[in-house]
Structure 1
Amino acid sequence: MTPKLTHLLAAALMISTSGTALAQYQGQSEVLLASERSQQTGRAQSGEYNPQIPAVGLIRRADFAVRNVTIECDTRDGELREKELREMVENAVRAAPRQGLQLSFGSQTIEALDLDNYASLGVYGGGRPDTSRMTFLLKVPLTQGSTLAEVEKRMDDFVASVKPVGRAQFLPTGSRVSLSIVKPDQYRGSIIDRVSEDSLNIGGRIGSGYAVRINGLQRPVDWVRWEELDVLLFVPYELEVVPAG
């Protein structure tokens, strides 16, 4: 690496203190991606900023496939209706580990749904009189060999296997499959290594009269859905070729 490029990279990698608490929290949490491939990144969806996707990033398999699932109950008595809903959610919480699945709740960042917190899950109206619903997230761990068809079958099989309570039952699982990634900031070093390698390659091709300048590497890791089960992780940097000297 040339002294000039080393200096430019070192300057770009200085840690910025202007990042928001939200950016730090998301980077160390499990984050939910859009249900289909989109040019809108995770940071843009959270309202932080809307960066351009750069040329270099890290494509990897997401950690989980995720789908919204809803339990509905139309028992006439309100107290009994909520009791049946919560008991069926408890059945789902107990059944998930036996099938190698996980349950969660949340929107942009998601948290585990378990026996300690399932009772606090919100109940909302079902759009008809004497009808209530509870919604949460069903997660399937992903491997390199996973396929979307296999994931959807595991989700459908789980929903069919959970024991109903009274008039509570799962609604049909027609929602699209989303993805999640756990602690995206852990991939920051690998991303920057790739950016550095690309910059060195460019620097070696353009000749001694020019230098490569990188801006923005202090920004937080961002993410976007890339393929059916893959995610692109990147730092929204900008690369410039400038006259040397």
Structure 2
Amino acid sequence: MQDDRIEATVVGWTREGAALVLGHLVIWGAFTDDTTWLELDELLRTKWKHPNGGFLKVDAAVIDSGDGDHADLVLGFCGPRISRRVFAGKGMSGTRPGFMMSRGKSAKTNRLAIIGVDVLKSAIFDRLARGNTIRFSNSLPTVYYEQLASERRVIRYKRGQPSRRFERIPGRRAESLDALVYATAARQAVTINFDQRASELAAAPVPPPPRVIRSEWMQR
């Protein structure tokens, strides 16, 4: 979530647990503009035709709530859609679950998902190092990969004790890395019965009417 755009990564998951980065889209518009949020909702409602004949949809999504005005608008958007597993997320460092709903005292914090960003980044970096558990669409631009490699793991010492953390490489943006982290968190928010899913796809339901999304691929 940025002041002038929303960046979203669409990720599929195989039965074996591999991540398939299907696309990264940018919805241009002020975060205070209702049209921007309507376009995001259109994206979240989109269905994609599967080679087996059926259609896939978004099973879950996590939107970075950030702070200040962003947080209020993200919570306002996600609240009515939580039954569709559209969650407002807040990234937290340290060792913690990748996805866990907050247990705060207020109704506002109870609707917030706490995202263990360090744990998820470590998992993503490990997958990238292995080279076979994340696959990428061939339509992603070069800048996507530059942003995906925008941080590095380092060890810092505090009072003589080592601490692993992630630090931004100077001069690099990190939207695609952040979006992949939140997409990975969304995977942990849903349980998928792959046998049932395979049967649903083979059933080839009637296709929904086409939706037009005024979005653009990420550009420099």
TM-score (norm 1): 0.22
Of the two structures, which has the highest relative contact order with CA contacts closer than 8 Å and spacing of 6 or more?
A: 1
TM-score normalised according to structure 2 size: 0.24
